[in-house]
A and B are shown apart, each in its own frame.
Chain A
């Protein structure tokens, strides 16, 4: 498998490898900045001031964009750091030190960037927590004397459609219904355990 990059990005990456256009100090700042930009963490080195102050601002902005594209594409295609190193050195003609610098930063941030990528798209909501308590129903509007245990359950979910952050699903159920629920959950767990054991027997 090969990295698929647009000709525009490739041309810019080749320009980044040129030491006369982008000096080493700027390069390392650029690389650090790219890593933190994608992972949405705090900027370790501020590149904006670097761009506005310099006459090569356009070049730096281009380089920044190209590096971001490169990193996102490489992570998307699950590139390890060695093939990336090879790609940069052979096809982009980068000097070895720069390849090492970029690959180091890349492999440091790789899992985080993958995590960011995994959040793009769609996955079903997750149940992250559960709270329950047992109630005893003594009296109701239709029944003067009754004594039925009721369980109130609150499932905390994340990623539910049309909600921000955590939201919860609340419901009450009688004991047979609770038994039904737990047996269903146990069945699901067994199914998952079977899948897990499939190749480890």
Chain B
């Protein structure tokens, strides 16, 4: 049984039980360890069963845990006898059977992954929530609408579902909080806030508008930085527009006749003011109701007094600008003219340079010609001698030429030879180097091939090593299989022996039967013979009587022997039974049970006492 225990312990360690290395048999398991092992097995087989892995101190809780584990085992289809006592007052054989059953049921690694996976995406969760809510609504009974406030049904777990009632549009109203001072002094604003500003909840016209208004207020607050930027831009825009308007107005005035000026100025001024006012009206925010009116009044006055001055100034400026413009035009024209000149001259420049080069060359040629002619003219007076001299010079130079040619030949021949030799040497060397390069290339290829081979081998090695590491865990497995094979061999051997013994027994039975038959037959023969004689002979009669008694005695003896055999067998059975009962260590278990019973009684008593002390 040691192997079985080892296998069980190893499997239990694999599912996360904290078992000491020293333990190697189920006999040494404490009840706590037994419960932990069993509950872990149940948890691994049926995730979410929720059986605690440790035993609580309370006795009744212990029984409940034991009973729930037993129930789980029964549910999984365990056919043997199982109850809380199996785990709390463990008996080695029963425990072994139950644990073996549980370990057989343990899911394989591939299956566990499947079980663990659950949909976790948002859509799946939403769907789950929806179906849960609908299920809740379906399971709830119908309730008349007057029993629900605003059509909302409250469930026991604090959640609610909308089943009717009216919904309100998202209608928000601007809320006044303490941050906006509408153009008044901080002191006044504070005074207003303290005494007159109503609460936020009192500012809305209907109670159901409070929530939308609050949401709007907050969202507006979050967005406010960008809004501020836009107001700044709007200010710039406004300024730009008013500038433009003033300019237009100035132009209009300058174009107008001077005498009309006095009568129209009032009208125009008012129109301008109107424009301005309209413009401000269009832009002002509802918050700034007071400001614009204050602003408009001074603008009106200023615009009327500055009209004339402005007009004069403009005229002067325009005149000056005109003059300057004219000057500018002239200057520009001159500049253009000059630039054009520069361009034409620079285009001519390369042509002129070329012409000069040509002229210089012709000059040089002419000079050379003139020098030759001058020499000839010098030599002309003494022509004959000069011709002779010249011929002599020519001859000397031809001689010298021939001489030089022979000398050249002399030097050239050995040099040529040397050159040829060198070229031959060079070519031979080149072929040599080519051969060596070829050899080098081949070697390199070989090296590359070998390194590739090496890498493959290394990869294979590491792969095999990893596989080996994976496999090495299951050494015990191979050992177990070997052991199982041995056991199977032993069993077959034993079976053979048993068969042999059975055959012997059968032969013996047969022999006994034949002997008994022969005895019977011989007894009947003897009986008949003696009976026939007994009628006539006294001795024979006595002999017959003796024979009868002998026969009966013998049969009794045989019966006795058989009975003895049966008794011996029975006693052996009883001994076996005694052994098994003593293995269950009933005594120790009984002591433990009685101790537990006592503890439970104590707990019950204390609970009863608590109940009593509590006022009803």
Chain A contacts to B: CB under 8 angstroms: 4-9, 37-38, 40, 47-48, 51-52, 55-58, 61-62, 64-65, 68-69, 72-73, 76, 111, 114-123, 126, 128-129, 156, 158-159, 164-166, 192-193, 195-200
The answer to whether B151 and A128 have CB atoms under 8 Å apart is: yes
Given known A-B contacts A9-B221, A64-B200, A126 and B165 have beta carbons under 8 A apart? yes
- In the complex, how many angstroms separate the beta carbon of B145 from the nearest chain A beta carbon? 4
B150's closest neighbor in chain A, by CB?
A: A119
The answer to whether A195 and B207 have CB atoms under 8 Å apart is: no
The complex places the Cα of A127 from the Cα of B156 at a distance, in Å, of 23
The answer to whether B165 and A47 have CB atoms under 8 Å apart is: no
Q: List 6 A-B contacts (CB under 8 A).
A: A61-B199, A62-B177, A65-B199, A119-B168, A166-B145, A196-B138
Say which residue of A5, A57, A123 sits within 8 Å of B195 (CB atoms).
A57
B residues near A126, Cβ cutoff 8 Å: 151, 162-165
Chain B contacts to A: CB under 8 angstroms: 127-128, 130-132, 134-135, 138, 144-145, 150-152, 154, 158-160, 162-170, 175, 177-179, 190, 193-195, 197, 199-202, 207-208, 210-212, 214-215, 217-222, 224
B163's closest neighbor in chain A, by CB?
A: A126
The answer to whether B131 and A38 have CB atoms under 8 Å apart is: no
9 nearest A-B residue pairs (beta carbon): A6-B221, A58-B193, A158-B164, A128-B145, A126-B164, A65-B200, A196-B134, A57-B194, A196-B135
Say which residue of A52, A64, A123 sits within 8 Å of B167 (CB atoms).
A123
The answer to whether B164 and A128 have CB atoms under 8 Å apart is: yes
The answer to whether A8 and B131 have CB atoms under 8 Å apart is: no
- In the complex, how many angstroms separate the beta carbon of A188 from the nearest chain B beta carbon? 12
Interface of B is mostly: helix
The answer to whether B135 and A119 have CB atoms under 8 Å apart is: no
B212's closest neighbor in chain A, by CB?
A: A120
The complex places the Cα of A33 from the Cα of B598 at a distance, in Å, of 57
The complex places the Cα of A196 from the Cα of B162 at a distance, in Å, of 17
Say which residue of A61, A64, A76, A122 sits within 8 Å of B215 (CB atoms).
A76
A-B contact count (CB 8 A): 154
B residues near A115, Cβ cutoff 8 Å: 150, 152, 160, 162
The complex places the Cα of A159 from the Cα of B160 at a distance, in Å, of 18
The complex places the Cα of A9 from the Cα of B411 at a distance, in Å, of 112
- In the complex, how many angstroms separate the beta carbon of B532 from the nearest chain A beta carbon? 95
Say which residue of A5, A40, A68, A193 sits within 8 Å of B222 (CB atoms).
A5
- In the complex, how many angstroms separate the beta carbon of A25 from the nearest chain B beta carbon? 18
Say which residue of B160, B170, B190, B201 sits within 8 Å of A120 (CB atoms).
B170
Given known A-B contacts A69-B214, A115-B152, A8 and B195 have beta carbons under 8 A apart? no
The answer to whether A121 and B166 have CB atoms under 8 Å apart is: no
The complex places the Cα of A193 from the Cα of B61 at a distance, in Å, of 40
A residues near B219, Cβ cutoff 8 Å: 6
Say which residue of A58, A68, A200 sits within 8 Å of B131 (CB atoms).
A200
The complex places the Cα of A159 from the Cα of B145 at a distance, in Å, of 12
- In the complex, how many angstroms separate the beta carbon of A195 from the nearest chain B beta carbon? 6
The complex places the Cα of A68 from the Cα of B200 at a distance, in Å, of 9
B220's closest neighbor in chain A, by CB?
A: A6
Say which residue of B152, B166, B197 sits within 8 Å of A58 (CB atoms).
B197
Most chain-A CB neighbours within 10 Å: which of B151, B177, B218?
B218
Say which residue of A37, A156, A159 sits within 8 Å of B165 (CB atoms).
A159
Given known A-B contacts A69-B218, A129-B144, A119 and B197 have beta carbons under 8 A apart? no
Say which residue of B130, B175, B212, B215 sits within 8 Å of A195 (CB atoms).
B130
Say which residue of B165, B175, B218, B221 sits within 8 Å of A119 (CB atoms).
B165
The complex places the Cα of A69 from the Cα of B172 at a distance, in Å, of 14
- In the complex, how many angstroms separate the beta carbon of B220 from the nearest chain A beta carbon? 7
B residues near A164, Cβ cutoff 8 Å: 166
The complex places the Cα of A78 from the Cα of B395 at a distance, in Å, of 127
The answer to whether A199 and B131 have CB atoms under 8 Å apart is: yes
